[in-house]
A = this chain, B = another copy of it.
Amino acid sequence: MKTSLGAKTLASPTPTWIVGAYDPTGKATGATIAWGGICSSKPPSIAISLRSATYTHGCVKATKAFSVNIPAQNQAALADYFGLASGRDVDKFAAAGLTAEKCELVNAPSISEFPLVIECELLHVIELGLHTQFVGEIKDVKAAPGILDAEGKIDIEKMGTVIYAPGSRLYYGLGPSLGAGFSIGNAYVKK
């Protein structure tokens, strides 16, 4: 018998990503989000949600582009910082000692020091109440050489990941491998 916890945004895992965008003056800014995820395979798309009160919200709407910057496991504090400050008041990149680098294919800044960057062109703006969901078409994914394996593919164990736990508000890293997808479930397939 389960216990009711109420109508709350509790789920696991939720990500810790920094959404990057340019403000009207061309200054790079960004916001930390935990509400988001891949949302379609074709066109490859990612959804991120921002409150309209955030500075980044208006920037994404105006520039119709954003980046999703994925921290390595040892960059959780940097990611957390982007959720504490507002781009209205400070240059978050400067304060965090991070480098804003223009994305190659879209009009948004990326974080040079983060190992994985998704360059997105705004496809849909969906008002969902407190949050606006921005769906971006993934135009390219760029990875630091240090997180790639010998075949040039992402080795997630080399970067780790940052998980946000909404209830306890704690961050967690990547745990042990649990096996291969589209494989370990075969144990339950009737022969």
Footprint of B on A, CB under 8 Å? 1-15, 17, 34-47, 49, 51, 68, 70, 73, 76-85, 90, 95-97, 104, 116-118, 123-124, 126, 128-131, 133, 135, 137-145, 148, 152-156, 159-190
- Taking a contact as CB atoms closer than 8 A, the residue among B41, B138, B154 that contacts A35 in the complex is B41
A2-B117, A10-B154, A14-B37 known; A73-B178 Cβ under 8 A: yes
- Taking a contact as CB atoms closer than 8 A, the residue among B34, B36, B84, B140 that contacts A5 in the complex is B140
Could you tell me if B142 and A171 are in contact, using CB atoms closer than 8 angstroms? no
Rounded to whole angstroms, the CA-CA distance of A30 and B117 in the bound complex is 32
Q: Which residues of B contact A178 (CB under 8 A)?
A: 73, 76, 162, 170-173
Rounded to whole angstroms, the CA-CA distance of A81 and B117 in the bound complex is 31
Counting from the closest, the 4 A-B pairs by CB-CB distance are A37-B37, A80-B185, A81-B185, A173-B175
CB distance from A78 to the nearest CB of B (A): 7
CB distance from A171 to the nearest CB of B (A): 4
Could you tell me if B130 and A40 are in contact, using CB atoms closer than 8 angstroms? yes
Rounded to whole angstroms, the CA-CA distance of A162 and B184 in the bound complex is 13
Could you tell me if B166 and A163 are in contact, using CB atoms closer than 8 angstroms? no
Q: Which residue of B lies closest to A148 (CB)?
A: B3
- Taking a contact as CB atoms closer than 8 A, the residue among B12, B80, B124 that contacts A184 in the complex is B80
CB distance from A144 to the nearest CB of B (A): 6
Q: Which residues of B contact A187 (CB under 8 A)?
A: 77, 81
A153-B168, A156-B165 known; A37-B15 Cβ under 8 A: yes
Could you tell me if A171 and B182 are in contact, using CB atoms closer than 8 angstroms? no
Rounded to whole angstroms, the CA-CA distance of A186 and B171 in the bound complex is 15
Q: Which residues of B contact A45 (CB under 8 A)?
A: 9, 128-129
